[in-house]
Amino acid sequence: MNKAFTREPDGEARDDDDTLSPALQLPPGSRNYITPAGHARLLEEQDFLIREERPRIVDVVAWAASNGDRSENGDYLYGKKRLREIDRRIRFLNKRLENAQVVDPTLQGDNEQVFFGATVTLSWDGGEETVYSIVGIDEADASRGRISWISPLARALIKARAGDSIRFQTPAGTREIDILEVRYIPLE
């Protein structure tokens, strides 16, 4: 049977939203909110894969196929696998960009409430201060202080105002969060 009609092993990820980790799945019926900088990064990645990476791998696969026996040809086998990965990522990016709704946080003005795109300064239990920006799921990076708008912390912060205190349930127990400042600044 031709390999084009065989099923990929279960260990390989597919482009279905069902196979994504829960942190990357959009809630049913919701939009894919994203900042202008996040949207630009996804477009840049898609363009790189389509214009540079995929053609380069296609050339490697064509060269490897011309060498004869493909069954033990590492360049050919790896190249085909890499092409599947690139195509899967391109399909994923196409789907995310199709459903993307770009929200520019700078257009919020002097809004005192926390919404998508807000950069919030918090005080945990009256002690340590941290700064988080609420961004789209494709641009979340906790190490850079960017949390997804669907994360539990972001959901707890939505609609709160500077000066508010909220209770937040963590795995370590309930914590008190004081919202010190809400800003809407351009994100890079």
Q: In angstroms, rounded to a whole number, what is the distance separating the alpha carbons of residues 4 and 87?
A: 14
Could you give the residue ranges of the DSSP H alpha helices within the chain?
36-48, 54-65, 74-98, 152-157
- pLDDT confidence bin for 105, thresholds 50/70/90: confident
Q: Are residues 136 and 156 in the same domain?
A: yes
Q: What is the mean pLDDT of residues 58-66?
A: 90
Q: Do 148 and 137 touch, CB atoms closer than 8 A?
A: yes
Q: For residue 33, give the nearest of 110, 91, 118, 111 by alpha carbon.
A: 118
Residue 65 in this model has a pLDDT that exceeds 60? yes
What is the domain extent for residue 124?
Answer: 105-183
pLDDT at residue 88 in the model: 96
Residues in the chain: 188
Same domain for 112 and 90: no
Q: Are residues 143 and 175 in the same domain?
A: yes
84 lies in the same domain as 44? yes
Q: Band the pLDDT of 81: cuts 50, 70, 90.
A: very high
Q: Which two tokens stand for residue 44?
A: 């840049």
Residue 19 lies in a domain: no
In this predicted structure, what is the pLDDT of residue 168?
A: 87
CB under 8 Å, gap of 24 or more: what pairs does 121-129 form? 121/179, 121/180, 121/181, 121/182, 121/183, 122/157, 122/177, 122/178, 122/179, 122/180, 123/177, 123/178, 123/180, 124/175, 124/176, 124/177, 125/175, 125/176, 126/176, 126/178, 129/180
Considering the domain architecture, whether residues 110 and 179 belong to the same structural domain is answered as: yes
- Residue 50, domain CATH: 1.10.287.180
Residues 94 and 145 in one domain: no
> Is 70 exceeded by the pLDDT of residue 6?
no
- CB of 144 closer than 8 Å to CB of 37: no
pLDDT at 169: 87
Banded model confidence at residue 15, pLDDT cuts 50, 70, 90:
very low
In this structure, are 73 and 131 located in the same domain?
no
Q: Give me the phi and psi of 184, to 5 degrees please.
A: -125, 100
**pLDDT at residue 31, rounded to an integer:** 78
Domain final residue, candidates 102, 130, 160: 102
The tokens describing 138, both together, are 């494709």
When mean pLDDT is compared over 18-22, 24-28, 158-162, the highest value belongs to 158-162
Report helix, strand or coil for 172. coil
For residue 130, give the CATH number of its domain. Answer: 3.10.50.30
Q: Pick from 59, 75, 102: which residue ends a domain?
A: 102
Look-up of token digits 């939009």 = 31
Please check whether residue 14 lies inside any domain of the structure: no
Residues 43 and 91 in one domain: yes
For the stretch 117-168, pLDDT in tens is: 999 999 988 788 999 999 999 999 989 999 999 999 999 999 999 989 999 8
The separation between the first and the last C-alpha atoms of the chain, rounded to the nearest angstrom, is 49
Last residue of a domain, one of 102, 125, 155: 102
Structural domain tally of the chain?
2
- Is residue 48 included in any domain, yes or no? yes
More confident residue, 160 or 31: 160
Mean pLDDT of the chain: 84
